[in-house]
Chains A and B, each alone.
Chain A
Amino acid sequence: MTTELLSLHRISKSFDGASALMDVNLTINEGEIHCIVGENGAGKSTLMKIVAGVLHPDNGIIKFKGESVRFKNPKEASDLGVSIVFQEPMFFPFLSVLENIYFGDELLGKFNEIRWKQMADIAKNALLNMGLHEDILKKPMSSLSIGTQQLVLIARAIHKKSKLLILDEPTSILSNAESDILFRQIETLSKNGLAVLYISHRMDDILGIGQRISVLRDGKLVNEFSREEANRDNLVVAMSGRILSSIEYNKNSYVKSEIPLIEVKNLTNFGSFENISFSLSAGEILGIYGLVGSGRSEVARAIIGEDDISSGVVLFEGIEIKLKNCAEAMKLGITYSPEDRRRQALFPNRNLRENITAGLFQKIKNKLGIINSNIEEKIVNKQIADLNIKTESQATLILNLSGGNQQKAMLSRGILHQPKVLILDEPTRGIDVGTKVEIHNLINNLAKQNIGIIMISSDLPEILALSDRILIMREGKLVGEMNGKTSSEIEILHLALGSEQENNKESDVNIKGDNR
């Protein structure tokens, strides 16, 4: 006998014209542990934020206990009993654990005074249930480890008498012991009627606790399994098969050089990644695939000197390098194009021209050291033409361009430095399909010009279409290397998710059926 607690009807949401969710229907029953799985960018977090009132759907209806609801903010959702714990914990770092647990619904006395003692007594139990020591109640949140902070926030959500608890990748920052405590607690609570929406891409977690498992792909709900039906293989098959722009790129044939352009040996940064070794030849496109938290970007940042290296070496053209920052990397010819364009690359208040030539003063200055705007204009015009950047003029504010054209501008900034190695972190995230193809062609052309390219991407079709070789990372470790021409999505996903490889014929058939 199940009672429906929350249901979503045809929920759609798009950002900047790029569709994140399309017509998603989902129901959650009371006391049910419902897992949502999908690759990076499949729309899991967006969906959860909509349920918790952080985001608002463009279309569709949310029903809570049969009544249509529209949460203005997370507070309204939590008042009804919907709590969310974000993947990246959100809390008050300088306030005590006790306050963080109770903030917003403190227990009040006769004079509306906060009853600290009474709150502490209850909070102690909440902490004990999560396997935490009561002594931390008085400590400021900032003094705890990330995993403990996460557990405190889950304790907060549970103690609030929630009816629905949403956990977004809770175990990605928890140790195994912490995860076990969490799972036990979730199962106890679900027996007492708490519904849990659990987002993860860890197969063991999902198959361990999920009573129903829904699979999201490209913003659509593609499959729903019961606990009995689900296994590693059919989940992976359902998650794969994202739509590719159905264009076959002419892969360049690079020649493996004797001395690799970049060689990384046993690179380790404790807590981020361990024992990473690989090499890159000139003209090669090396794809790095992994799910969130696998340490891909951290490796790239360590190579260019922006993150620490605990041990291991990086060789550039056969010579060991120890870079202090990305400026030194650029001097050598290693350029990194970051994942988060807005925060780490763009100058949002400057125009297209200045954004492209930023950092290029050596080339556009005249003898007196003053910027020669004629040279600058010529350079930028050539880039606009070469990369087909759609803009009214060079003077257009960068923020007025579409995401795809912003990214092209960032790529042209990198190209103008004439790099030998180009590290691209999520080069096409949040970019429309048409521009994506253009950027793919550009990357291919750069490789043909003998630039070595490391492409970090969560977009599996993209990785498969462009890479000569593919490295797969999971939880900070290199778990596989594959040939870009012969490997399949399923194989890569299996490695990235950490499930055993049992590729039977049946699943192969399924993929073909799924690929439109």
Chain B
Amino acid sequence: MGRKFSSYIPAPGKRVYLAIGLLAFEIFIFTIFAENFLTIKNLSTVLINVSDLAIVSLGMTMLLIMGGIDISAGSALGVVGFMIAQLLFKEVHPIIIAFVAIAAGTLIGLINGLLITKFRIPDIIATLSTNSVFRALIFGLLGGKYLVGIPLKFKRLATGTLFGIPNTLIIIIVFFTVFWLVLTFTRYGRKVYAVGDNTEAAKALGININNIRLATYSIMGALIGFAALLYMGRVAVVEIGIGSDLAIRSIAVAVIGGTSVTGGRGSIIGTIAGALFMAFLKNGLVLLGMPSLAEPAVTGVLILLFVGIDVLADLKSTGKIKSRLLGRRLNIVDNKSKDIL
């Protein structure tokens, strides 16, 4: 007895320590080798730049835990960004713009969700296809030009400070706290884990799998809508390549943070570590004078590396590699069970 209250709350699992350790190691390395790295100015720039990635990564984490994925996140952000720009030109009130942006994002998420649940298209194919459609839509709307001179109504939201603390830091803290609470203390949150962990068992327990999927894809859409506001406040340009690396980077964030691509496992704390890791990585590489093309390569390698680590750890812990591959029923009696009193 004498346990703390917190001890029975679902914990993020050991894998999260690897992410935090790696983040600490990264900060250590960049502090030594890049002289301008550990300055207030640089750190707050990094926090401002990471805000939209961090928000989208939250949704991506939930989707991956649920056994889903969203490849269309970046171009969805582009479509919403274009809408925001148009409304800003028309001098619509920012609050209304914010409302419209989040609603539009939610609608896009809902479309992905409906394709996946009603038409039973596999998640990756559905969002890969809508990604292509959204990208073409951005191209058509822009007509081959850049959209510049957009009014800076969201600049304060995205780059300002409150009592000397960057707004984005406050936003990130609030969002991550809320999503941690949702995933840990609500039935919906636990169902997200359950669906990704064992879909058949979840069905047998009477969970409406499709409703959970629809809700989670819609939440992802809403987060993309909000991230688009931050993006327009920070960048204020819409060009054809808008958000093109957002999906892959947010997947990297989640995977580095310990989220399993096969579903069932992942944590918000891990995703915080992953987001900061990715943000410092981009920043540090620039400070070290590395070509900006190096970043996508590093992202890709990191995803392969971390998914590989997780797969190997799974195989090692089960030790049933051959049987697993054959999909055979395991019928091994373990009489040395330590768990019996």
Tell which of A74, A140, A306 touches B326, judged by Cβ atoms closer than 8 Å. A306
Roughly how many angstroms separate A120 CA and B322 CA in the complex, as a whole number? 36
Q: Is B11 in contact with A133, judged by CB distance below 8 angstroms?
A: no
Q: Hey, what's the 0/1 contact readout for B213-256 against A, CB within 8 Å counting as 1? A: 00000000000000000000000000000000000000000000
A75-B204, A119-B8, A120-B8 in contact; A272/B197 too (CB < 8 A)?
A: no
Asked if A146 contacts B201 (CB within 8 A), the reply is no
A41 at interface by CB-CB < 8 Å? no
Q: Does A98 contact B (CB under 8 A)?
A: yes
In the complex, B96 has a CB within 8 A of chain A: no
- B340 x A178 contact (CB < 8 A): yes
A91 touches B198 (CB 8 A): yes
B332 at the binding interface (Cβ < 8 Å) = yes
One digit per residue, 1 when the CB lies within 8 angstroms of any chain A CB and 0 when it does not, for chain B 110-137 equals: 0000000000000000000000000000
Question: Which residues of B245-280 have CB atoms within 8 Å of chain A's CB atoms?
Answer: 260, 264-265
Contact between chains at A137 and B341 (CB < 8 Å): no
Q: Complex Cα distance A301/B327, Å?
A: 13
Determine the distance from Cα of A132 to Cα of B340 in the docked complex, in whole angstroms: 5
Q: How far does the alpha carbon of A16 sit from the alpha carbon of B11 in the complex, in Å?
A: 46
User: Which of B186, B197, B200, B333 is in CB contact (< 8 Å) with A173?
Assistant: B333
Query: What per-residue 1/0 map shows which CB atoms of A371-407 lie under 8 Å from chain B?
Result: 0000000000000000000000000000000000000
Closest chain B residue to A173, Cβ basis: B333
Which residues does chain A contribute within 8 Å of B89, judged by CB atoms? none
Q: Complex: how many Å from CA A131 to CA B327?
A: 31
Asked if B39 CB lies within 8 Å of chain A CBs, one says no
The CA-CA distance from A400 to B185 in the complex, in Å, is 48
- Whether B335 contacts A272 by the Cβ 8 Å rule is no
Contact in complex: B322, A308 (CB < 8 Å) = yes
Instruction: Give A354 to B204 CA distance when docked, in angstroms.
Output: 36
| Contact between chains at A74 and B186 (CB < 8 Å) | no
Cβ-based interface call for B5 (8 A)? yes
Contact A95–B331 (Cβ < 8 Å)? no
- Residues of chain A from 133 to 176 with CB closer than 8 A to chain B in the complex: 133, 136-138, 140, 142-148, 173, 175
Task: Judge whether A73 and B204 touch: CB under 8 Å.
Answer: yes
Partner pick for A114 among B13, B187, B337, CB 8 A cutoff: B187
Instruction: Spot the interface stretch: A99-107, A185-193, A279-287, A311-319.
Output: A99-107
Say yes or no: is A69 at the interface (Cβ < 8 Å to chain B): no
**B92-118 toward A: CB 8 Å interface, digit per residue (1/0)?**
000000000000000000000000000
How far apart are the CA atoms of A117 and B200 in the complex, in Å? 28
Asked if A145 contacts B334 (CB within 8 A), the reply is yes
Q: Which of A106, A132, A306 contacts B190 (CB 8 A)?
A: A106
Residues of B within 8 A of A104 (CB): 205-207
B329 near A: Cβ within 8 Å? Answer: yes
- A432: CB under 8 A from chain B? no
Report the minimal beta-carbon distance from B330 to chain A, rounded to whole angstroms: 7
Question: B205 — nearest CB in chain A belongs to which residue?
Answer: A104
13 A-B pairs with C-beta separation under 8 A:
A93-B198, A95-B197, A112-B186, A112-B187, A113-B181, A116-B10, A117-B5, A132-B339, A133-B341, A144-B339, A145-B339, A173-B333, A271-B332
**Could you list 18 further interchain pairs (A-B, Cβ under 8 angstroms) beyond the known A95-B190, A136-B339, A177-B340?**
A74-B204, A74-B205, A74-B206, A91-B198, A92-B198, A92-B264, A93-B198, A95-B10, A95-B194, A103-B205, A114-B185, A114-B187, A117-B5, A145-B339, A146-B333, A175-B335, A272-B332, A344-B326
| Complex A-B, nearest 10 residue pairs according to Cβ-Cβ distance, in ascending order | A75-B206, A145-B334, A120-B8, A271-B332, A94-B264, A92-B197, A113-B185, A145-B337, A116-B8, A104-B205
